[in-house]
């Protein structure tokens, strides 16, 4: 069963009021979105993944949510401003983005997000042109090393980049298992050290394939202008690179905003027991306040 991360904290901070407008930028399996609708908020929901839009449409119907209470669009949240204006979602009371990767994408999408299954290295949330295997096969050794270091924070980035380039001189790297094995054979030490390296390299590739950090910067910039007074923006991030961007952006907003989470909210022991995915999650919330205060 899908358990949304920080569901109570998100719903409390959004203070859902009937007939007020809310945007969920990352619908996923609709965990947060359904709760907004149950409290009679009006929802604009976005997701890059078409399957998520279909899944949520069914889920909302099964829960007897009236169709005039929500609009769902397959779209990138970097286009939030354009989509919100088109659908008359200005003066919004709450916006959320849950930047994690859902279980469906990891385990069932067949898109190479996990090194635990042998799949083509695709890693796209949507239908963009560049796949993860294009990046692995086409970047120079230096650019690969920089990618692994910056987006994966992997200390052995240069060794792994060299091993990848050596391998692809013989044959292209197109699957998760081939990439996994190259890293396994390059990193010495315990199984857990090797797994950490694989996880970091896969994370770096996923971030690059989907321009995740660039999209997040645009989302933060553009979503704030859509908020009504007392409206809140809540962002759940899952690694330090994302959290740093959110933290820096929130801190840079001097007038007209109040940071509601001086320190990010992290998961309690109890939440972790129920939902292992929440282990690395951090929630930061900011509220738009009157300039005159």
**Lookup: tokens for 280:** 């690395």
Using the minimum distance from each CB to ligand SAM, give the nearer residue, 47 or 271: 47
Using the minimum distance from each CB to ligand SAM, give the nearer residue, 43 or 156: 43
Where in 6-25 is the site for ligand SAM (CB under 6 A)?
Answer: 25
Answer yes or no whether residue 278 interacts with ligand SAM by CB under 6 A.
Answer: no
Answer yes or no whether residue 113 interacts with ligand SAM by CB under 6 A.
Answer: no
Answer yes or no whether residue 45 interacts with ligand SAM by CB under 6 A.
Answer: no
Using the minimum distance from each CB to ligand SAM, give the nearer residue, 7 or 253: 7
Residue 194: which residues within 8 A CB-CB, separation 6 or more? 183, 184, 187
Rounded to whole angstroms, the Cα distance separating 152 from 173 reads 19
Q: Which of the ranges 64-72, 73-81, 186-194, 267-275 carries the binding residues for ligand SAM, by CB under 6 A? A: 73-81
For ligand SAM, which residue of 47, 154, 242, 271 counts as binding (CB under 6 A)?
47
For ligand SAM, which residue of 44, 83, 102, 206 counts as binding (CB under 6 A)?
102
Answer yes or no whether residue 209 interacts with ligand SAM by CB under 6 A.
Answer: no
Left if phi > 0, otherwise alpha if psi is -120 to 50, otherwise beta: which for 191?
alpha
Using the minimum distance from each CB to ligand SAM, give the nearer residue, 157 or 203: 203
Using the minimum distance from each CB to ligand SAM, give the nearer residue, 25 or 121: 25
Q: How far is the CB of 205 from ligand SAM (least distance, A)?
A: 15
Contact 36, 24 (CB under 8 A): yes
3-state SS, 137-176, equals: HHCCHHHHHHHHHHHHCCCCHHHHHHHHHHHHHHCCCCEH
Rounded to whole angstroms, the Cα distance separating 2 from 192 reads 27
CA atoms within 13 A on the CB side of 145: 13
For ligand SAM, which residue of 23, 48, 123, 241 counts as binding (CB under 6 A)?
48
């Amino acid at each position: 069963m899908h358990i949304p991360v920080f569901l109570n904290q998100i719903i409390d901070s959004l203070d859902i009021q009937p007939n007020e407008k809310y945007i969920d930028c990352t619908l996923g399996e609709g965990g947060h979105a359904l709760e907004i609708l149950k409290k009679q908020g009006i929802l604009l929901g976005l997701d890059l993944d078409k399957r998520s839009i279909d899944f949520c449409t069914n889920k909302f119907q099964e829960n007897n949510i009236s169709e005039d209470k929500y609009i769902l669009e397959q779209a990138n949240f970097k286009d939030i401003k354009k989509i919100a204006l088109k659908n008359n979602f200005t003066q919004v009371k709450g916006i959320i983005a849950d930047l994690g990767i859902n279980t469906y994408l990891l385990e069932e999408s067949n898109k190479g997000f996990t090194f635990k299954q042998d799949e083509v290295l695709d890693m796209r949330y949507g239908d963009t042109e560049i796949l993860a295997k294009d990046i692995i096969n086409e970047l120079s050794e230096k650019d690969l090393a920089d990618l692994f270091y910056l987006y994966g924070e992997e200390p052995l980035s240069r060794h792994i980049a060299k091993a990848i380039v050596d391998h692809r001189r013989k044959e292209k790297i197109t699957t998760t298992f081939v990439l996994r094995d190259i890293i396994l054979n390059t990193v010495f030490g315990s199984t857990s050290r090797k797994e950490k390296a694989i996880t970091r390299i896969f994370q770096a590739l996923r971030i690059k394939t989907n321009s995740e950090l660039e999209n997040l910067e645009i989302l933060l910039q553009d979503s704030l202008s859509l908020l009504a007074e007392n409206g809140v923006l809540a962002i759940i991030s899952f690694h330090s690179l994302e959290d740093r961007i959110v933290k820096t952006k929130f801190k840079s907003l001097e007038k007209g905003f109040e940071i509601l989470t001086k320190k990010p909210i992290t998961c309690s022991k109890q939440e972790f027991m129920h939902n292992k995915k929440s282990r690395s999650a951090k929630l930061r919330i900011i509220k738009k306040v009157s300039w005159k205060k």
